[in-house]
Amino acid sequence: MAIDFELSEGSKLAQAHYHDIALKQMRPISRKYDLREHDLPVEWVDYWWNEGRFGTKGRSEKLTEGFITICLQAEELCWGDAGLYLRMPTPALGGSAVSSAGTKEQKQRFMSKFREEGGHPIWGAMAITEPQAGSDAAAIETTADFDPDTEEWILNGTKIFCTAGEGASTADGGFVVVWATIDKSAGRGGIKSFVVMANTPGMELIGCEKKLGIRASDTATLRFDNCRVPKENLLGSAEVRKKDPTKTGDKGFKGAMATFDASRPIVAAMATGVGRAALDFLKEELENQGVAIRYDAPPRELTAIERDVIEMEAELQAARLLTWRAAWMMNTGKRNNLEASMAKAKAGLAVTKITQKAVQILGPVGYSKKLLVEKWMRDAKINDIYEGTQQINQLIVARRILDYPSAMLR
CATH code of the domain in which 17 resides: 1.10.540.10
Q: What total of structural domains would you count in the chain? A: 3
Do 293 and 343 lie in a common domain? yes
User: Do 36 and 155 sit in the same domain of this protein?
Assistant: no
Task: Rounding to the nearest 10 degrees, give the CA dihedral for residues 120, 124, 127, 129.
Answer: -110
Residues 270, 76: Cα–Cα separation, whole Å: 8
Give the span between the Cα atoms of 201 and 117, in whole angstroms. Answer: 28
Which structural domain range is residue 164 located in? 124-250
Looking at the fold, whether 271 and 234 belong to one and the same domain comes out as no
Q: Collapsing DSSP states into helix, strand and coil, what is residue 81?
A: coil
From the list 75, 76, 339, 387, the catalytic residue is 387
Q: 267 and 384: one domain?
A: yes
- pLDDT by residue for the chain (410 residues), tens only, comes to 455 678 888 888 999 999 999 999 999 999 999 999 999 999 999 999 999 988 644 433 344 458 899 999 999 999 999 999 999 999 999 998 998 889 999 999 999 999 888 899 999 999 999 998 877 777 899 999 999 999 999 999 999 999 999 999 999 999 999 999 999 988 888 999 999 999 999 999 999 999 999 999 999 999 999 999 999 999 988 888 765 544 544 455 666 677 889 899 999 999 999 999 999 999 999 999 999 999 999 999 999 999 999 999 999 999 999 999 999 999 888 999 999 999 999 999 999 999 999 999 999 999 999 999 999 999 999 999 998 899 999 999 999 999 998 888 88
Dist CA 251 CA 107 (whole Å): 15
The confidence score (pLDDT) of residue 2 equals 52
Shared domain check, 177 and 276: no
CA triple 352-323-76, angle to 5 deg = 70
Instruction: Give the pLDDT of residue 214.
Output: 98
User: Does 387 qualify as catalytic in the annotation?
Assistant: yes
Residue at 115 is within a domain:
no
Domain-terminating residue out of 233, 250, 267: 250
In a domain, 325, yes or no: yes
Q: Are residues 274 and 217 in the same domain?
A: no
Please give the C-alpha separations between residue 179 and each of 224, 252, 255, 272, in angstroms, as whole numbers: 11, 10, 11, 29
| 97 belongs to a structural domain | no
User: Looking at residue 403, which CATH number applies to its domain?
Assistant: 1.20.140.10
Is position 117 within any domain? no
Residue 223 resides in a domain? yes
- Are 128 and 236 in the same domain? yes
Q: What one-character-per-residue DSSP string does 355-389 give?
A: HHHHHHHHTHHHHSTTSSHHHHHHHHHGGGTSSS-
Nearest residue to 99 via CA among 286, 263, 343: 263
pLDDT for the residue 55: 63
Last residue within a domain, chosen from 218, 235, 250: 250
Q: Helix (H, G, I), strand (E, B), or coil: what is residue 206?
A: strand
Q: Does the global pTM surpass 0.75?
A: yes
3-class DSSP state of 192: strand
> Residue 62 has what pLDDT?
44
Residues 282 and 385 in one domain: yes
CATH, residue 232:
2.40.110.10
> Within 10 A of 204 (CB to CB), how many other CB atoms are there?
13
At which of 225, 250, 275 does a domain end?
250
Same structural domain, 326 and 266: yes
- Residues 260 and 400 reside in one and the same domain: yes
For residue 293, give every residue at least 6 positions away whose Cβ sits within 8 Å of its Cβ, in sequence order, or none. 283, 286, 306, 309, 310
Q: Do 236 and 342 share a structural domain?
A: no
Is 169 inside any structural domain? Answer: yes
161 and 286 housed in the same domain: no
